[in-house]
A and B are shown apart, each in its own frame.
Chain A
C-alpha cells in the first residue's frame, strides 16, 4: 500500500508546479491552467487524508472544490475572452489598468 507521505508529496509538487507556473507565465490561459493545477494539488492531499483518517468529509469537500473550480473556469474564461477582445492581447504584462 502506498504510504500517506507519497500522496502528500505528490500533492505539494503539483501545487508548487501550479504556483510557479502562475508566477512565471504571461499567457492568461496558461495562468488559468496553473490555478487549476494548484487546486488539484490541494485536492490530492485532501483525498489522501480522507482515506488515511477513514473520514468521508474530506472527499465531500473535494467535490465542492471541483464544482467551484468548474464554475470559476466558466466565468474566468468568459472574462479572458472579453479582455482579449478589448485589449487585443492575451499577455498579462500588457494589461496593467490598476497600476497606482
Chain B
C-alpha cells in the first residue's frame, strides 16, 4: 500500500465533513448521508487493504508533514500503521460504516440531518487521526478532537436542556483527565526531548531510577508519567472516578451512543495504554493502579446496571464495566487480551446499542424498560440480534465475548501476582453480574406482557431495513469476531495474541499454572455466566415478585445502587456547587464586575471627562481665539527680547 492510500484513510472523512457541513443543508438535504457513507466506505476498504498489507509484514511509519518547529520542539503529522493500529482501523471504520447506514433509518426526518452526518464524519476523521498517530502530539490532537465531536453529538438535540447539559458534563469531566494527559505528554517532551513514538519508546528505559520531587515526596519519574497518561485514559474511557459522564452521554442520538460511547472513542484510553505499554511496563505501581482501577470499575458499574430501568443506561453502565475489563487486562500486562476484548466488545456492544435504538424507535422514544415487555413478537430481528449480543457479552462459549473475556480472566489469574488474583476475582464476579443484567434487560423488554400505552402498542413495528441490516451484520461480528483468537487450549492457535506479538510482547504465563487450571478457570466463568442468566430468568420470568421483594428486603442497598452510589450528588456537593459559588460570588461580582468592568468602563469614562473639560476652551467666539494668539505672540516676543 502506498503512502498516498494511507493518507486517504483519515482524509476522506475530513473532506466529507467539510463538504457536508458547508453544502449539506442547501444542496443535499435528505441525501446528506451519501458523501459521508461513500467516504467511510472508502476508508473501510482502505483499512482492509492496510490489514492485508500488515499481515503480510509491511508496517508503515512515516512523517507526512512538519506541523510545528520551534527550537528543539518538532512536531510532525505522521502515520504509524502496525498490527495494533490496523485492529483499531478495522473496528473504527466498520462500526462507523454500519452506524452511518443505521442512521439513515434512525435519523430519518430529523431536523439537522446533514449536520448529524457532518459530525459523524468529523468524529471518524478524529478517531482515525488518533489511532494512526505516530507521535504524542497527534495522539493528543485526535484525543481532543474526538472529545469535541463527542460533545457536539451528545448535544445534537441542543434545544433539549438535558442534552445540552450532558454534552457540557462530558466535556468538563474529560477536561480533568485530559489535564493529566497533557502534563504527561509535556513531561515526556521535557525528559526525552521528543514526542515521536519511536524515540520515546526506545529511550524511556534511560529514565529508570530517576525521581522527581513532588509535593514533598520523591516520586519515580516513569510511574509519574505513566499515571499522568493514565489520567487521560480514565477520563476518556469513563473509569472510576471520572465515569459519571458516560451514562449521561446517552442523551445523544442512539447511533452516536453506539459509535462513540460504546465501540470507539471510549476505547481510546485502552488503545493509548496499549500503545504506550513500553512506559507502563517499566512501572509496577502504575500497572497495579491500572489493573485495580479497571477491576473496581468493572464491578462498580455492573452493580449499578443491575437496578437501572433506562434501557440505554443499563447498556451504558455495561460499557463502563467492560472497559474496566480491558484496563484490567492491560494492568496485568496482557495488552493483547485487552485489545482483543476491545475489538470483540465493539461489535456486541454497538449491536446492543443499535438494538436499544431500534426498540426506542418502535416505542416512540420511550426509554423506560418498565413500560416495555413482550416486544419479541413485534420486532423479531431486533430481539434475536440483541439476544445474541447478550449471550456474547455474558460469555457463552463460541461467541465473541467468551473468547476475549476468558482470555482476560485467564491472563489475570495466571499473572502470578496478588493484584492479578484480586482483579480476577473482581472480574469473575462482574461476569456474573454482567450476565444477570444483560438478561434482565432481555426478559423485561422482550418477554412478558406489553406494559406501555395503547397508542404505543398500536405503533409497534420492526425497524426499516436500513436499521436491521446493520444489526444483522454486527450480529455476525458479535458471533464470529472472537474466532480469530481461539486459545490453544481449545484447539485454536491463539491467533490474535500471535498477530499482535510484533507490537506487544505477550505477558508471561505463570509456569505452575497448567492446562487443568486454565480449563478450570474457563469452566468457572462459563458456569458463572449461566448462573447469571438463570438468576435473571428466575427473577424476571418465573417469580416476578422477587425483584420487588428483594428491593424491599434491602432498601438501603437498592437505594444506593439505584442512585448510582450517589457519585453525581457527591461531585455536585464537593465540586460543582463550590465552583459555582466561587464563580458567582468572587469571579462574577469581584473580578468581572469590579476589576474587569471597572477597567474597561473606567478608562473611557476618564478620557470622556477630561475631553469634555478640555472642550470648554473651544468657546466658538473668534475674539477669544485671536486674543489668545495675540497674548501668546506678545509673550514669545517678550521672551525673545529679554534673552
Interface string of B612-643 (1 = CB under 8 A from A): 00111111111100110010000000000000
| Bound CA span A97–B619, Å | 9
Assembly CA distance A18 to B614 (angstroms): 30
Residues of A within 8 A of B621 (CB): 92-93, 96, 99
Question: How many of chain A's residues touch chain B, expressed as a range?
Answer: 10 to 19
The answer to whether B622 touches A100, judged by C-beta atoms less than 8 angstroms apart, is: no
Contact present for A100 and B618 (CB under 8 Å): yes
| Complex-state Cα separation, A4 to B219, whole angstroms | 99
Encode contact with A along B368-405: 1 for CB under 8 Å, 0 otherwise.
00000000000000000000000000000000000000
- With a CB–CB cut-off of 8 A, which chain A residues contact B619? 96, 99-100
User: Which chain A residue shows the least CB distance to B627?
Assistant: A23
Closest to A28 in B: B622
Residues in chain B near residue A23, CB distance under 8 A: 623, 626-627, 630
Within 8 A of A (CB), among B532-585: none
Could you tell me if A100 and B630 are in contact, using CB atoms closer than 8 angstroms?
no
CA gap between A60 and B198 in the complex, in Å: 88
Q: How many A-B residue pairs have CB under 8 A?
A: 34
Contact present for B616 and A19 (CB under 8 Å): no
CA of A98 to CA of B622, assembled, Å: 10
Residue of A nearest to B618 (CB): A100
Distance to closest chain A CB from B440 (angstroms): 83
**Would B630 and A99 count as touching, CB distance under 8 A?**
no
Among A22, A31, A99, point to the contact of B620 (Cβ < 8 A).
A99
Report the separation of the CA atoms of residues A85 and B180 in the bound assembly, to the nearest whole angstrom: 79
In the complex, which residues 114-165 of chain B have their Cβ closer than 8 Å to any Cβ of chain A? none
Taking a contact as CB atoms under 8 Å apart, the answer to whether B626 and A99 are in contact is: no
Query: In the bound complex, how far is the Cα of B630 from the Cα of A96, in angstroms?
Result: 20
* Chain A residues, CB < 8 A from B617: 100
By a CB distance below 8 angstroms, the chain A residues around B630 are: 19, 23
A92 and B623 in contact, given A19-B630, A23-B630 (Cβ under 8 angstroms): yes
Interface residues of A in 17-35 (CB under 8 A from B): 19, 22-24, 26, 31
8 Å CB contact of A98 from B614, B620, B623, B626: B620
Q: How far is the CA of A100 from the CA of B624 in the complex (A)?
A: 13
A22 / chain B contacts, CB cutoff of 8 Å: 626
Chain B, range 585-631, C-beta contacts under 8 Å to A: 614-623, 626-627, 630
Closest chain A CB from B608 CB (angstroms): 13
* In contact, B615 and A92 (Cβ under 8 angstroms): no
CA distance A31 to B616 in the complex (A): 24
Q: Tell me the complex Cα distance, A24–B615, Å.
A: 24
- What is the CA–CA distance of A99 and B623 in the complex, to the nearest angstrom? 13
Question: What's the nearest-Cβ distance from chain B to residue A27, in Å?
Answer: 12
A98 vs chain B, min Cβ distance (A) = 5
Q: Contacts of B626 on A, CB cut-off 8 Å?
A: 22-23
CB distance from A13 to the nearest CB of B (A): 15
Q: Are B622 and A92 in contact (CB under 8 A)?
A: yes
Nearest CB to that of A34 among chain B residues? B626
Contact of B618 with A98 in the complex, beta carbons under 8 Å: yes
Q: Give me 17 A-to-B residue pairs in the complex whose CB atoms sit less than 8 angstroms apart, sorted by A's number.
A: A19-B630, A23-B627, A26-B623, A92-B623, A93-B621, A95-B620, A95-B622, A96-B619, A96-B620, A96-B621, A97-B620, A98-B618, A99-B618, A99-B620, A99-B621, A100-B616, A100-B617
Which residues of B come within 8 Å of A, CB atoms? 614-623, 626-627, 630
User: With contacts A92-B621, A96-B619 known, what are 16 further pairs, Cβ within 8 A?
Assistant: A19-B630, A22-B626, A23-B630, A24-B623, A26-B623, A93-B623, A95-B620, A95-B622, A96-B620, A96-B621, A97-B620, A98-B618, A100-B615, A100-B616, A100-B617, A100-B618
Closest 5 CB pairs of A and B: A99-B620, A96-B620, A100-B615, A100-B618, A92-B622
